[in-house]
Structure 1
Amino acid sequence: MQRHPGTTMARLLMASVFIVMGAYRLWGAYKGVPTPGSTLTFSAIELVLGLLLAWGWKLRVTAALAAILMLADAALSHRFWGLAGQAQGAQLLHFMKNIGFVGGLLLLAMTAGSDHRRHRR
């Protein structure tokens, strides 16, 4: 199956966020940074999903799961609605970046596997 180079690059860039952040937190915990068990679990799932996205494994399902994870992260980690001032603005920015990323992952989930049809002759 052929893929458009732009589609592959976009998928790899999305995967890099999961790989880098998941590995960063796991490496920090390995080096002794106090890390809650829930964060370790989240980070391990994040790393695995990132690797699967990069590899292109079952993209529809993997991208949908990554979107759910990113949506949960937005709601749990960036609670801007309970803050005020600059703190609220900073968390709103992070929340909205996650929401935009969810949109990209949903787009990937909906279009994965359809790219080869356009290039078939």
Structure 2
Amino acid sequence: MKPETVLARLLLASVFLVVGGYRLWLAYRGAPLSNGTLVLSAAEVGLGLAIAANWRLRLAAGVAMVALLADAALSHPFWQRETGARSEHLLHFMKNLGLVGGLLLLLSGTSGKRR
């Protein structure tokens, strides 16, 4: 894999590792988080590790893309927000779409071979 592809893979993985890990850290420190949030956070860390390690990359990236698309639609429905909150939700919605695009680009340079 080209060095720039490895860097892209690691940067994409860092999003899942940091966000999921941060929520787990908050829970460890006593923050009240739902069981669903804890499960999602653990899954994000697992996806981040799989992507970073190039382990079952096609599967991990595919699951990550579905999760990001679901999160974009369910957590950031900017079209339903008032003017003040609309821009913030639009930003997060588009960030998720951009990450999906990055994962698609990563997959376009990945062979179908299993590792």
Superposition TM-score, scaled by structure 1 size: 0.87
Identity rate, percent: 54
After TM superposition, what 4+ stretches of structure 1 lie above 3 angstroms from structure 2? none
| Partner of residue 32 from structure 2, selected from 26, 34, 47 | 34
Amino acid corresponding to residue 39 of structure 1 in structure 2: T
Runs of 5+ consecutive residues of structure 2 not aligned to the other structure? none
| Partner of residue 100 from structure 1, selected from 98, 101, 110 | 98
Amino acid corresponding to residue 52 of structure 1 in structure 2: A
The 5 A counterparts of 1:65-76 are: 65-76=63-74
- Cα deviation, 1:13-61, whole Å, max 9, x if unaligned, reads 0000000000000110111101011111111111100000000001111
On the 8 A contact 2:51/2:61 being kept in 1, the answer is yes
On the 8 A contact 2:8/2:106 being kept in 1, the answer is no
Computing the radius of gyration over CA atoms, which structure comes out larger, 1 or 2? 1
Aligned residues: 112
The 5 A counterparts of 1:25-64 are: 25-64=23-62
Amino acid corresponding to residue 61 of structure 2 in structure 1: A
- The residue aligned with 1:81 is 79
Alpha-carbon RMSD: 1.2
